[in-house]
Structure 1
Amino acid sequence: MVTSSTSSMLMKIQPTIQRFARMLSSVLQLEVEIVDNTLCRVAGTGVYGKLLGRKLSTDSRLLRYIIETKKEKVVTHSRFDPLCKGCLNKDNCKEKAFLGTPVIYQEQCVGVISLVALTCEQQERINDNIQEFSDYVRHVSSIFVSRFLEDQGGSDNLQKMFTTIIGNMDQGVLVINQDQKVEHANQAALKILGVSHGTMIGKSINFRPLTFAQNFIRGHVQHVIAFDDKKELVIGQLHAIQDRWLFLMAFHQSHASADSMPLQDGPQIEQMVGECRPMRQLKKLIGRVAPSPSSVMIAGESGTGKEVVARAIHKLSDRQAKPFIAINCAAIPEQLLESELFGYVKGAFTGASTNGKTGLIQAANNGTLFLDEIGDMPLTLQAKLLRAIESREVQPVGASNPVPVDIRIISATNQNLEQFIADGKFREDLYYRLNVIPIRLPPLRERQDDIELLIHHFLQLHTRRLDLVYPGISPEVIAFLKSYRWPGNIRELSNLMEYLVNVVPSGEVIDMTLLPPNMVTRSKSVVQEPGRHAEPEVIKEKESVTALEEMEKQMICDALARYSNKKQAADKLGIGIATLYRKIKKYELVGV
């Protein structure tokens, strides 16, 4: 029987144990819970950081087992372990995996250190590193007892324990102090950086994330790490731990050179990932025109991110606190577009709402109205929109008096509006009203220097969203994707990365065998063989595009037949509703 004085030992040094728990959680990227032998929670992180000093009210069968047997317990799939059978909290349990180690003092179990997985990624970490994590925690437990419980030495012993854990990790780790100097670097980190231990400790170091770090607080981001006259591109996560920074490097690193990453000399616009010359010029232009009230027209191929640019202009303007209203002129049936844009009054037409409806132009008052696919707006509405722009007022359907509005219009198109004007499909006077500030978005094939940056951006985005393990990607795949033509632009790249993170085995590297076969086939069809003229290759490319279009047409037909709701069909196909309407129009599937 453990005496009462022994049972309270852990609680006596509770602040030190809590600091230790946070460090352990940050290093191993798992949640940590520490209890004494009366099941009183001494320390914890995340959801286990609440109710410290209180006895656990749950069944706690795993913890009781460890305290009673003085043995370690590993559960790789919680709720299916025999110990979980009959647990009253089983159905509500959020734990996916568990590793618990007893803290033994004078042959008695005085508490339990638990590593807990609450996500699939954390579960993978425990399953893939059971022996290593077990060794870490067992070693920590022995230091815990011999140094903390005997002399209660405090921070010096905590630092030694912290250093021991990091030193045994296969993952590269840097510890940075408040003066931006390297305090500790393990062997894995030194190998990645290509430096020795003696030259790195005490070195001033700087981290520059290549995407917006605040979007990925617990995710992997490409960083340019600069020290001395050296720059290295490293994928990792930067964490603030008490008065230090902890940089955890990803197991799989990029193959790009940090020297190829230009300095970010333009405005840093969230979601606009890219540092190639065309993108830097685009960001500077957006920064200059955003404060102006003048109309902007964004031209670019489908999938280049026209709405992202429109939102960036709004966010950098004086109207940022006011509404941003987006409408896709191709996604709304022609007979409804007028009432959507201009609104209507009570009783304006059969089926009208008894309360009337505020139009989107009026809803955007004092803000920004984004008109996507402006080339698909009917001529009759073009005339009414022109009047609204010139008079700065709108007249709802059925209303006798106009309503004044103050809006900035940003329009977007992937069509040749000059040709539309020549063909009588678009009003020339409206075009000049909307095209005061023209912005052209470069297609992805003109942004080769950004491909790798975008690859890692979307890998991170989709692994976080789908709760999957961040994979590596082979140099061959990077080279292939840099030479690919990208007919679907950034949207196609994003969809490809989402596909790849779903099919790559957990924690492994994406190689050429995982790429969709039609993508590889299409790429081969547009590569010109040495000594041949370009014209036959153009024919071959067109033939390949035709085959892909037939496949696309069939997929759209199948989705439309399966789902009565076009939004569901678009989601299933992985495209936007506006794109679906455009494809229906292109393939003449109106009756499907």
Structure 2
Amino acid sequence: MLNTLHQSELMQLQPTILRFTQMLSAVLQLDAEVVDADLVRIAGTGPYSKFFGKKLNTTSRIFRYILETHQEKVVVKSRTDPICDGCSNKESCRETAFLGVPIMLEDRCIGVISLVAFTEESREKIKENVQLFSDYIRHISQIFVSKVLESGDTDNGLSKVFTSLIENMDQGVLVLDDNSRVKYGNDPALNNLNISRDELAQISVNIQPLSFHNNELKGHQQHIISLGERQELVVGQFHDIHGHQLFLMAFYQPNTSFEIGKPSQQLRSVIGECKQMQTLKTLISRIATSPSSVLINGESGTGKEVIAHAVHNLSDRNDKPFVAINCAAIPDQLLESELFGYVRGAFTGASNKGKTGLIQAANKGTLFLDEIGDMSMTLQAKLLRVLEEREVMPIGSNIAVPVDIRVISATNRDFSEMIATNKFREDLYYRLNVIPIHLPPLKDRQGDVDILVHYFLDIHTRKIGVGYPGITPNVMTRLNSYNWPGNVRELSNLIEYLVNVVPAGDMIDVDLLPPYFERTACEKRSEQHNIDDSIMSLEEMEKIRIEEAINRLGNRKLVAEELGIGIATLYRKIKKFELSSQHA
């Protein structure tokens, strides 16, 4: 270390600057380095996380340039940039990009804060966000000088720098202490959680991943944030920084709330908050403990087996077997032996050990008969006897076996027509239809598409092992306008496809949707709408232009490029015109 008598202003605050640099690196996910006016390394991360207090070698051309000119410097093509000419380390240099900003104290440059990339991915991040990163670092350096050096209070100075950094971020950020208690939240975080700063300080806050498997994945994932008795579903990720945790919220949020104690909390597998689904959840809660038969009617793909599982899981039989069989998927001659079982030697080819049928296997539990309308009239008669006598006769046996089962059946067929044409027994129908449940098609479930999209995003990102992607408002508009002939199953398959094809770190945009997702009528009208510029102010014209670009592109970087402005400037204009919560 250098003699303390000759330490620079920055070196005298080295512990504070080191902690601050590590925070900056974690927030921006790039390596960072700080040097003073004598080219002494004050702090750094990654390859620069050692040799603090040592002077850099004489070939530190970029730092010298910034110190001498008092100007920031960006290098996105290392080795080929003119400033690298003559550098003795040019051929062995591992840096792929560099962004350095001077730390100015009045008219003196007392040091440099820099961001450094070592991979092509990190280089692209700097290249695409130069203005944004530059604004962040320049703002921090000003606070660093004016507050930290003036106060001389290391811990308090760090708090001011840290708070200012977070408060100027467009992402929601929560700061937690080493006991996982929330100490601070910036304005975007408070808006996402629909809570005031005073309320946040007074209640217990807990953050848990929606699935514990999420802890094994990198990138944004869904978390449940408990705010007293209220819960919010928030997409974000954790960063550990010296006894503190940062929870960084994604720009995109599902905007889905939970309330403890409601049927939706008890029936997590039954996804949906529309009026029909709320009524359905209430009905399930009421009839779950009954032994009476249930008949679920709904179109293919609406999730009839999910409802059957929910009834079983809420019943007193939830620790006993749930046995499901698809009556349409098994040939009639095999279905009988599957359901009723058989004894040794019952027929040619029968197992020497016999076979226990699914009805017996479901004893004390629940038997789910999917597509019951495809069962033959012969088997219908045998099933009716089981329901009436509560006993089953295996094939080849003359001894009935008592069974205690609850039967839940499901169909997408019209039983009234089948009964009229003698394709289904009327007496069996009344035995099965003691408690009827109708499952509405997805097209009639207003508002549920949004909830299901984020539910399936969570499921499929965990299954595939990728980060949780965002999804643009235009995509959500088209998904909500679609008719969904395949219902929930079709939506699940679509989201699995999109999770597979979306590039890492990108949002799901309309160009990834299959071609049958046509533009909505609203989008077409918007494109045809001509604005009379002559009667509008420049600010009104600018707001409309930004709003239209955001709606169409759905990606801030692309919007900024199209408008010819820096991304930080775009952020400021989004805030100015109050477009953030509606469109961005």
What interval of TM-score do these two structures reach, taking the shorter chain for normalisation? 0.5 to 0.7
Tell me which residue corresponds to 1:496: 494
Tell me which residue corresponds to 2:221: 220
Question: Is residue 2:73 matched to residue 1:103?
Answer: no
Q: CA deviation at 1:417?
A: 1.2
* Distance change in 2, residues 1:419/1:195 (3 Å): closer
Q: CA deviation at 1:232?
A: 11
Select which of 260, 263, 266 maps to 1:266: 263
Q: CA deviation at 1:470?
A: 2.2
Tell me which residue corresponds to 2:457: 459
Moved more, 384-393 or 167-176: 167-176
Question: Is residue 2:339 matched to residue 1:329?
Answer: no
Q: Separation in 2 of the partners of 1:365 and 1:355? A: 20
Question: Is residue 2:183 matched to residue 1:236?
Answer: no
For each residue in 1:162-181, what CA deviation from the matched residue of structure 2 results, as whole angstroms up to 9, or x when unmatched?
87996797753213579998
* Distance change in 2, residues 1:393/1:203 (3 Å): same
Q: CA deviation at 1:224?
A: 8.3
Q: CA deviation at 1:512?
A: 2.3
Q: CA deviation at 1:473?
A: 1.8
Q: CA deviation at 1:215?
A: 6.3
| Secondary structure of 1:520's aligned partner | coil
Q: Separation in 2 of the partners of 1:280 and 1:29? A: 42
Q: CA deviation at 1:404?
A: 0.8
Letter in 1 for 2:263: G
Tell me which residue corresponds to 1:248: 248
Number of residue pairs the alignment of both structures matches: 412
Tell me which residue corresponds to 1:577: none
Residues 210 and 224, structure 2, Cα contact 8 Å, conserved in 1: no
Alignment of 1:567-582 (within 5 A): none
Tell me which residue corresponds to 1:374: 372
Q: Separation in 1 of the partners of 2:352 and 2:157? A: 73
Residues 27 and 166, structure 1, Cα contact 8 Å, conserved in 2: no
Q: CA deviation at 1:213?
A: 2.9
For each residue in 1:246-297, what CA deviation from the matched residue of structure 2 results, as whole angstroms up to 9, or x when unmatched?
643123335x697xx9997435202211111111110000000000000000
Q: Separation in 2 of the partners of 1:334 and 1:127? A: 63
Residues 365 and 405, structure 1, Cα contact 8 Å, conserved in 2: yes
Tell me which residue corresponds to 2:412: 414
Select which of 481, 491, 503 maps to 2:479: 481
Q: CA deviation at 1:490?
A: 0.5
Tell me which residue corresponds to 1:383: 381
Letter in 1 for 2:383: L
Tell me which residue corresponds to 2:83: none
Q: Separation in 2 of the partners of 1:29 and 1:379? A: 67
Letter in 2 for 1:480: R
For each residue in 1:25-84, what CA deviation from the matched residue of structure 2 results, as whole angstroms up to 9, or x when unmatched?
x97799xxxxxxxxxxxxxxxxxxxxxxxxxxxxxxxxxxxxxxxx999xxxxxxxxxxx
Q: CA deviation at 1:468?
A: 2.4
Residues 214 and 462, structure 2, Cα contact 8 Å, conserved in 1: no
Q: CA deviation at 1:472?
A: 2.0
Letter in 2 for 1:266: P
| Secondary structure of 1:349's aligned partner | coil
Tell me which residue corresponds to 2:470: 472
Larger Rg: 2
Residues 221 and 457, structure 1, Cα contact 8 Å, conserved in 2: no
Letter in 2 for 1:366: K
Alignment of 1:346-385 (within 5 A): 346-385=344-383
Q: CA deviation at 1:466?
A: 1.4
Q: CA deviation at 1:497?
A: 1.1
Q: Separation in 1 of the partners of 2:233 and 2:121? A: 21
Q: Separation in 1 of the partners of 2:326 and 2:438? A: 19
Q: Separation in 1 of the partners of 2:364 and 2:256? A: 46
Tell me which residue corresponds to 1:51: none
Moved more, 431-440 or 501-510: 501-510
Question: Is residue 2:275 matched to residue 1:277?
Answer: yes
Tell me which residue corresponds to 1:299: 297
| Secondary structure of 2:398's aligned partner | coil
* Distance change in 2, residues 1:180/1:466 (3 Å): closer
| Secondary structure of 1:448's aligned partner | coil
Q: Separation in 2 of the partners of 1:232 and 1:394? A: 47
| Secondary structure of 1:409's aligned partner | strand
Moved more, 156-165 or 324-333: 156-165
Tell me which residue corresponds to 2:340: 342
Letter in 2 for 1:175: V
Q: Separation in 2 of the partners of 1:449 and 1:206? A: 30
For each residue in 1:87-115, what CA deviation from the matched residue of structure 2 results, as whole angstroms up to 9, or x when unmatched?
xxxxxxxxxxxx5553335659xxxxxxx
User: Identity of aligned pairs, percent?
Assistant: 51
* Distance change in 2, residues 1:450/1:124 (3 Å): farther
* Distance change in 2, residues 1:358/1:482 (3 Å): same
Letter in 1 for 2:466: L
Q: CA deviation at 1:184?
A: 1.9
Letter in 2 for 1:301: E
Residues 296 and 409, structure 2, Cα contact 8 Å, conserved in 1: yes
Tell me which residue corresponds to 1:512: 510
Select which of 422, 433, 443 maps to 1:445: 443
Q: CA deviation at 1:484?
A: 1.3
Letter in 2 for 1:185: G
| Secondary structure of 1:396's aligned partner | coil
For each residue in 1:397-426, what CA deviation from the matched residue of structure 2 results, as whole angstroms up to 9, or x when unmatched?
111211111000000001111111111111
Letter in 1 for 2:435: I
Q: Separation in 2 of the partners of 1:212 and 1:327? A: 34
Residues 267 and 287, structure 1, Cα contact 8 Å, conserved in 2: no
Q: Separation in 1 of the partners of 2:160 and 2:352? A: 73
Select which of 282, 287, 290 maps to 1:289: 287
Question: Is residue 2:180 matched to residue 1:183?
Answer: no
Tell me which residue corresponds to 1:565: none
Q: Separation in 1 of the partners of 2:390 and 2:50? A: 74
Letter in 2 for 1:360: L
* Distance change in 2, residues 1:313/1:158 (3 Å): farther
Tell me which residue corresponds to 2:574: none
Residues 180 and 206, structure 1, Cα contact 8 Å, conserved in 2: no
| Secondary structure of 2:50's aligned partner | strand
Q: Separation in 2 of the partners of 1:494 and 1:29? A: 33
For each residue in 1:326-347, what CA deviation from the matched residue of structure 2 results, as whole angstroms up to 9, or x when unmatched?
0000111111000000001111
* Distance change in 2, residues 1:309/1:215 (3 Å): farther
Letter in 1 for 2:459: L
| Secondary structure of 1:275's aligned partner | coil
* Distance change in 2, residues 1:161/1:374 (3 Å): farther
Q: Separation in 2 of the partners of 1:434 and 1:233? A: 39
| Secondary structure of 1:517's aligned partner | coil
Q: Separation in 2 of the partners of 1:305 and 1:127? A: 46
Letter in 2 for 1:481: L
| Secondary structure of 1:469's aligned partner | coil
* Distance change in 2, residues 1:212/1:424 (3 Å): farther
* Distance change in 2, residues 1:127/1:286 (3 Å): farther
Q: Separation in 1 of the partners of 2:349 and 2:480? A: 53
Residues 339 and 397, structure 1, Cα contact 8 Å, conserved in 2: yes
Q: Separation in 2 of the partners of 1:387 and 1:312? A: 27
Q: CA deviation at 1:316?
A: 0.3
Q: Separation in 2 of the partners of 1:103 and 1:178? A: 25
